[in-house]
Amino acid sequence: MLDFRVRYLQLAFNDDAATALRTVAALPRDERIIVEAGTPFIKREGMKGIQALRIAHAGHLVADLKTTDGGAEEVEMVAAAGATAATVMGSCPTETLARFIAACSEWEMDSLIDMLGVADPLHVMRELRIPPTGVVLHLGRDEESTRGKQIQYRHVTRIRSKYDVAISAAGGVDLGGARTAIFNGANIVVANVVPPDKPWQGIPSDQDVPAIAREFLDTIQ
C-alpha cells in the first residue's frame, strides 16, 4: 500500500504496450517508482496490457481507469490483472466513489480519487464515510497549454488538515514541476512518458527515460 510519508515518482504510460514495456524493463529498481497504465493505454491494450506491465514491474502499478460508474466491477477487473491501485473521478456520484473505495479495500488496492475538473476536492472528501488512499490534483493534458492554468496546490493543506492521504500532482510535470509539487506538500509526482510526436509535457520517450527517472528521484527525495 502507498505511504503518504514517502515521495514517489509515478511514470504514466499512455502509448502502446511495446513502447511501455521496453522502458519499464530498463527503469531503476526503486520502491519509490510507480508505474501507471494510463487511460489511453488501457483503452488500447486492455487487461492484457496491465498484465504485461505487472510482469515487467514488481512495484506499485496504478490502473488509471478514471472510473465514472460501476466502480466495484472495474476495480475487480484491474485487480485480477495485477494492478495495486486504481483511479476514480471525483466528479462522479458519491455512491460510485463509495463502492470504488470499498472494492479497492476488499482487493487490498489503493483507491485514488482524481480531482480533474473538481472545484472543491475537500467537499468531495467530506461526502464520503470512508476516505480513499489518495487524492490526485490533476491538470488535464488538454489544459496544459491554457495560459494561467496550473495544478491547484492550495488544496493540499486543506485536505491534509482533515485526512491522512497520499496526494498526487499530475499534469505537465517536469523536473521543475516536481520540485514545486514536493515543496507544496504533494508526495507523488506524476510524469507522463510522452512520444516525440505528441505536444504534451513530460518525459520524451525517445530520450533516456531511466536516467531522467533517476534525476526525478534525486529531486524529490
Which residues, in sequence order, are bridge partners of residue 63? 37, 86
Q: How are beta strands 8-13 and 203-204 bridged, if at all? A: unpaired
* Domain limits, the chain: 8-220
CA distance 82 to 65: 14
Q: 14: how many CB neighbours lie within 10 A of its CB? A: 25
80 pLDDT band, cuts 50/70/90, is: very high
CA distances from 1 to 69, 84, 145, 185 (A): 24, 8, 34, 19
CA distance 136 to 107: 20
Mean pLDDT, the chain, rounded, equals 94
The architecture of the domain spanning 8-220 is Alpha-Beta Barrel (3.20)
What confidence tens digit (pLDDT) does each residue in 150-207 have? 899 999 999 999 999 999 999 888 899 999 999 999 999 999 999 888 878 889 999 9
What pLDDT score was predicted for residue 208? 96
pLDDT at 148 over 80: no
What confidence tens digit (pLDDT) does each residue in 16-37 have? 999 999 999 999 999 999 999 9
